[in-house]
A = this chain, B = another copy of it.
Amino acid sequence: MPLLVVGSIALDSVETPTEVRDNVLGGSAVYFSYAASYFSSVRLVGVVGEDWPSEHTELLKKRNIDTTGIQVIPGGETFRWRGKYEVNMNDRETLEVHLNVFEEFDPVLPEDYRLCEFLFLANGSPVVQMKVLDQLPGARLTVADTMDLWISTQHDELMKLLKRVDGLVLNDSEAKLLTDDENLVRAGHKVREMGPKFVVIKKGEHGAMFFSEHETYVMPAYPTPDVIDPTGAGDCFAGGMMGYLAECGNFEPKTLKEAMAYGTLAASFNVEDFSLERFKTIEREEIDHRMEEYRKMLSF
């Protein structure tokens, strides 16, 4: 099943306690696509400026990611983000954001993309996310990400979006903000009651939680000693998860749980180097090998 993702494409500058990388390939839709590409064919919709290095597009194409949905704005500049991680590598400060061409992002899907049945709306304004939904009336599974900015500034629109998507992925602090509840188990179900059939709360180094009407479960993060750069881990989580669902072509409870595990592992590889560097070194086989380790870890 082809999987469609709509979201940001960026050039990131990342500062960690030991290293700095400037203008490396990033953006929610990029991280998502790359992680998902290990499982299914991916169609990527996003926008870049004239400064976008074509080698980045080539890299994505090499993994069979369909990049015809990447719109290049003449004279425009690509979305840029600069962030700095604390010593704990979990908390970070955003130093600079230049939305540039992403500010006016108004995704119009290529005709053949509109038949995709699996859709991921990477973090973006709920208004834009709903415009995408309008173009995919036949989607079988629609999942969105969101962030604190939209929870605070576009609350009503976000509430409308939540009534239209099957799943929502968000991080722990966002779930608490959205529900005004500090207990994540309660918060997860409260978000679910706002509309989506299932909710995934990402907890960074502590893993992720899943909530549906009849299920509540937690999956710990894969314990890696090599956390070099956590940027994009949440998007890779979503990419691994959605990619696996698209590969299976269903979203039964059993498949969703396996998908949560693949998301966990995709994130675990991503944090082991900057940008997509770690992913560039692996094939599906490495992910499946780590899956065996992960299954062993959780069985007793």
Contacts and interface: CB of A to CB of B under 8 A. Distances in A.
At the interface, is chain A mostly helix, strand, loop or mixed?
A: mixed
A128 to B, nearest CB: 32
Interface in A45-79: none
A218 B209 contact: no
A223 B88 contact: no
Interface stretch (A117-125, A132-140, A199-207): A199-207
A299 B300 contact: no
A258 interface: yes
A223 B299 contact: no
A299 B295 CA distance: 8
B227 A205 contact: no
A89 interface: yes
Given A217-B223, A223-B218, A298-B298, A184 B205 contact: yes
A261 interface: yes
For the side of the interface on A, what is the size category? 20 to 34
Contacts of A207: 206, 218, 220
B218 A183 contact: no
A24 interface: no
A216 interface: yes
A186 B221 contact: no
B217 A219 contact: no
Interface in A254-300: 254, 257-258, 260-261, 295, 297-300
Interface string A164-181: 000000000000000000
Contacts of A183: 89, 225, 227
Given A218-B221, A299-B299, 12 more contacts: A183-B227, A185-B223, A185-B224, A206-B206, A206-B207, A207-B220, A216-B223, A218-B223, A257-B300, A258-B300, A295-B300, A298-B299
